[in-house]
Amino acid sequence: MNAETIEVDSRLLGRAVLAIDNFDQTADFASFERDYIAAHSPAYVTCRVPVENIREIHALEDAGFHLIECQIRSAIKLRKFYDVLDSAYHFQEVRREEELTDVLRIAGTTFVHDRFALDPATPAGFSGERYRQYVLRSFHASDECVYRLIDRQSGCTVGFKTHRYVSPTEVLFLLGGVDPDLKDLGLGVIAEYFEFNELIRKGVTRGITHISACNYPVFNLEIGRLGFRVLATLAVMRKVYPG
């Protein structure tokens, strides 16, 4: 087991946020916990385990962790181009900081199903600012990209997508959202089509994503309509440490 510091979340909370990797229920967790508390004095620690590993979930519960999200990991094979020729929108990579303004506004207001928006242990506004910071990180990272969906007629940014290159042929889909005032208009699937086409043109053949199981619109879109295949279901456990 190891505890990794999550830089963006730690900076926003003003104390360390850690993620435990490779959880081992047979290890001396009390000793491991004492070590990471001594080293980091964390505010918030998470651990993801397969939901079928009930003993691991119970071990984390015994250590004071609580379930905060059920997460789905899924993948799609990118094989065919989608018809967007007659679309009223176009898809553009964000290359200048001034193009980020509306993307950041959407990122800060559109997410309502994520664990940080639902967790009463996180401060008000934390979730929105967290996503803004992750979009900024993607903009500056050499292996990540930010794209925006633009209304051709008005020129307004109506949605965005981000992803990270895992290899020349595989990406990890990160964030995606549409303007909160324009939800339920099908913009999410349009943005997905554009993103898939862009990736196929660049030689990408596979994409992986993680979504909250309670995000029913995205769950139904990606798995029910676009053909994502479920790889794993994960229980996200978290423990809050008083300051």
Domain formed by 76-233, architecture:
3-Layer(aba) Sandwich (3.40)
CA distance 117 to 159: 20
Read off the pLDDT of residues 164-182 as tens digits, 9 standing for 90 and up: 999 999 999 999 999 999 9
| 103-134 pLDDT tens trace | 999 999 998 888 998 899 999 889 999 999 99
Give residue limits of the domains in the chain.
2-70+235-240, 76-233
Q: Name the band, by pLDDT with cuts 50, 70 and 90, for residue 220.
A: confident
pTM higher than the cut 0.95: no
